[in-house]
Structure 1
Amino acid sequence: MVEPAEAQGGPGDAADGLLDAAERLFYEKGVQAVGMDEIRAASGIPLKRLYRLYPSKSALLQAYLERRDARWRAELAAYANSRSTPEARILAVFDWLHQWFSEPDFRGCAFVNSFGELGAVDPVVTTLARTHKRAFRDYVAGLVVATGRPAVCADAYALLAEGAITTAAVSGSPEPALRAKEAAVLLLAAT
């Protein structure tokens, strides 16, 4: 059994435990379906302390998305950058996506999900979703340029990945990553 975050140590531990609980609940159930009291109960942090750390649900949502963005991009880059050739790094993106899609709690892209729920009414969510997607596209562009291909080709690889993410979420299958990888192989050969 995991102890409540406050019992683990200092204020950073409490914030981390709170973000862990918020991430699990927001990602599993959706942002609007989860109340602050449910997050408090899941984190073991008193409501007063929760509001001292994050004065609003919007502030907690922003922290969750920012942390998830940093972790997601770092994990992807570590996986892809471990490959020996630029072409292999591009294809590794799709292998990494397949692993992610195979996780039992995979529910699609947290940024697309949050944008779908709140993008029309919360400009912070809109900005964070757009920033995340732009950073992913820019990362892919760097991989493409490293192969000697023009950066404009990055859009095609990014769209293959984004389509795979959405299709995997809707279908409940990790297979779209493999189909997107097959298309990426064809695209690499054609350019």
Structure 2
Amino acid sequence: MDRAGRQSRVAKLPPRERILDAAEELFSREGIKAVGVQAIADRAETTKMALYRHFATKDALVEEWLRIVAADYTAVFDRLADTHPDEPREQILGIARFIADGLPEISHRGCPFINSIAELPDRAHPARRLIESHKAGQLHRLTDLCARAGLPDPTEAAAEITFILEGAQVSAQNGSVEHAGERLMRIVEAVLHRRSTPTTAA
């Protein structure tokens, strides 16, 4: 988007949304620690004083940005639940497809959760606690889907699928695996098939 187009779009947003929009862009592109409050205010076409009226600290702004990112992922689970209410396997595959489709962007910008954890080593940081709570909630929902899909050990199946989804994002970010999205889908499908197929004793 050219400068004139961005200015027109920014002008239509309320101040709080402009600040969050600017923070998302700068944090994703440059990292949390490298971006100062003044840079965010400038990008949002506002002032530091106005920013602090909406967010008491930079940490509070980081936490709210990540809360929005987490809500976007939660919305995917909710949308798939509405689209495939009685098809837990389709929901699991839909989640995998969402991650697979997002890998090209992650290869350029990185996963916001992974990047943020790397920059926030203190596990007591509010943003770290938010990420951990969000990930625990996702694993719980995935475990429930595996149970509803009839997998004999839903806890292990959910853990295995989580490792695949998380690992694919890291691999896309570091460029180590080609065709990561296609491979992610094949592996998740194989996990669902293997774990749902009864083993016969020799």
Instruction: Please confirm whether the aligned pair reaches a TM-score higher than 0.5, indicating the same fold.
Output: yes
Q: Which amino acid aligns with 2:186?
A: E
| Higher radius of gyration, 1 or 2 | 2
Q: Does the alignment pair 1:89 with 2:118?
A: no
Q: Residues 157-176 of structure 1: CA distance to partner in whole angstroms, max 9, x if unpaired?
A: 11111111111111187832
Instruction: Provide the TM-score with structure 2 as the length reference.
Output: 0.81
Structure 2 equivalent of residue 32 of structure 1: 33
Partner of 1:131: 133
Query: Structure 2: which 5+ residue stretches go unaligned?
Result: 196-202
Distance of 2:180 and 2:106 partners within structure 1? 16
In 2, Cα distance between the equivalents of 1:122 and 1:173?
33
Equivalence for 2:179: 175
Q: Is the 8 A contact 1:91 1:185 kept in 2?
A: yes
Instruction: Give the structure-1-normalised TM-score.
Output: 0.86
Q: Which residue in the other structure is 1:75 paired with?
A: 76
CA distance in 1: counterparts of 2:170 and 2:78, whole angstroms: 20
1:51 and 1:155, CA in 2 relative to 1: closer, same or farther beyond 3 A?
same
Deviation at 1:31, TM superposition (A): 0.2
Does the CA contact (< 8 Å) of 1:5 and 1:45 recur in 2? no
Q: Does the alignment pair 1:100 with 2:102? A: yes
Counterpart contact for 1:136–1:158, Cα < 8 Å: no
Please provide the CA RMSD for this pair: 2.5
State the number of aligned residues: 188
Letter in 1 for 2:54: L
Q: Which runs of 5+ in 1 are unaligned?
A: none
Q: CA–CA distance in 2 between the matches of 1:49 and 1:174?
A: 45
* Percent sequence identity over aligned pairs: 25
Note if contact 2:31-2:115 (Cα within 8 Å) is conserved in structure 1. yes
Matches of 2:135 and 2:178, distance apart in 1: 20
